Amino acid sequence: MNQSIDPRAFVLGCSAIGAGLAMIAGIGPGIGQGFAAGKGAEAVGRQPEARGTITSTMLLGCAVAESTGIYGLVIALILLFANPLVDKI
């Protein structure tokens, strides 16, 4: 009995696994932004007069950290909906 795997189904299955792994990239920015917000609140508590500088620096850092999560989301969406590998089969 010949039990071969359909190449298209194999590529789609591997793409779904890859998309799930790409979404793990969202964990890092979540932890980093929570840590940054906590330290920012702590810094404002120690120096209330520097609130504007601390807040702007914290928001810039959170924006840079969030870009990693957005890149992971874009890769996952490409793998799921606009998969360039399926056309190669």
pLDDT in tens, the chain (89 residues): 668 888 888 989 999 999 999 999 888 888 988 998 999 999 999 999 999 999 999 999 888 888 888 999 999 999 999 988 788 77
Q: Has residue 31 been placed in a domain?
A: yes
Q: What amino acid occupies position 50?
A: A
Tell me what pLDDT residue 1 has.
Answer: 61
Structural domain harbouring 78: 26-82
Q: How many CB atoms lie within 10 A of CB 48?
A: 9
Number of domains within the chain: 1
The amino acid occupying position 39 is K
Phi, psi angle pair for 4, to nearest 5°: -100, 155
The model carries a pTM of 0.75
Buried b or exposed e, range 2-33, using 16+ CB within 10 angstroms:
eeeeeeeeebbeebeebbeebeebbeebeebb
CATH number of the CATH domain containing 67:
1.20.20.10
Q: Is residue 88 part of a domain?
A: no
**Does residue 52 belong to any structural domain of this protein?**
yes
pLDDT for the residue 41: 92
pLDDT at 87: 81
Report pLDDT for 38: 92
Is residue 45 situated within a structural domain?
Answer: yes
- Is 4 part of a structural domain of the chain? no
Cα 23 vs. chain centroid, distance in angstroms?
6
